[in-house]
């Protein structure tokens, strides 16, 4: 909230301050995001070898797990490397959500077509824009090796978050 107030002191708009705060948080968390994307790319490269191991070991789950761990160690890939950085970011985003949700500074503050950043977007433009941008970001990011998981990440999550943001304060969606 202090950082957002500081940005507001420079730009004079709470909407722009929210955007600058979000960009700052994204920039600070970029090393974690990069590490996660590199790990997912490494796992995807190993997918053909993992499929060979599945065929080789069949029902021997313990043997498969040992061989898979050896493969990961050999190629210096971590199974948790893709998810762990994302999990570390979650508290930051929840804190940002809480700060924006309880910020009295946003009450009755207009931004673009919205008359109040503490109420939902009356035309649902922000949730739609968020869903479209989320879909595009998913399309541009490295996809998981599993096709079902990739499809869920590409379609389900942008749709889920769009629906979730339809009725929250527009400052949060922004």
**pLDDT tens per residue across all 174 residues of the chain:** 888 889 999 998 888 998 898 888 888 888 877 877 777 777 778 778 888 888 888 787 888 888 888 888 888 777 666 666 667 777 877 887 787 778 787 778 888 888 887 788 888 888 898 888 888 877 776 665 566 667 777 777 788 888 888 887 877 778
Determine if the pTM surpasses 0.75. no
Q: 3-state DSSP call for residue 111?
A: strand
Q: Phi and psi dihedrals of 109, rounded to 5?
A: -95, 120
97, 172 contact by CB (below 8 A): yes
**Which residues, 6 or more positions from 104, have their beta carbon under 8 angstroms from its beta carbon?**
none
- Joined together, the tokens standing for residue 46 give 């190993």
**Which residues, 6 or more positions from 89, have their beta carbon under 8 angstroms from its beta carbon?**
29, 32, 33
- Joined together, the tokens standing for residue 32 give 């974690």
Q: Is the dihedral of CA 52, 66, 61, 79 positive or negative?
A: negative
Cα 32 to Cα 22: distance, rounded to the nearest angstrom:
16
């Amino acid at each position: 909230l202090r950082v957002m107030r500081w940005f507001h002191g420079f730009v004079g708009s709470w909407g722009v301050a929210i955007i600058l705060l979000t960009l700052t948080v994204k920039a600070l968390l970029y090393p974690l995001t990069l590490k996660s994307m590199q790990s997912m790319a490494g796992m995807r490269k190993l997918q053909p070898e993992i499929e060979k191991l599945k065929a080789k070991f069949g029902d021997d789950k313990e043997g498969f797990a040992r061989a898979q761990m050896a493969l990961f160690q050999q190629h210096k890939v971590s199974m948790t490397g893709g998810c762990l950085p994302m999990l570390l970011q979650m508290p930051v985003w929840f804190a940002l959500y809480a700060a924006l949700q309880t910020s009295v500074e946003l009450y009755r503050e207009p931004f673009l077509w919205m008359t109040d950043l503490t109420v939902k977007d009356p035309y649902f433009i922000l949730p739609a824009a968020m869903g479209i941008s989320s879909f595009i970001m998913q399309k541009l990011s490295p996809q998981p090796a599993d096709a079902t998981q990739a499809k869920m990440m590409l379609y389900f999550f942008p749709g889920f978050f769009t629906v979730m943001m339809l009725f929250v304060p527009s400052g949060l969606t922004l």
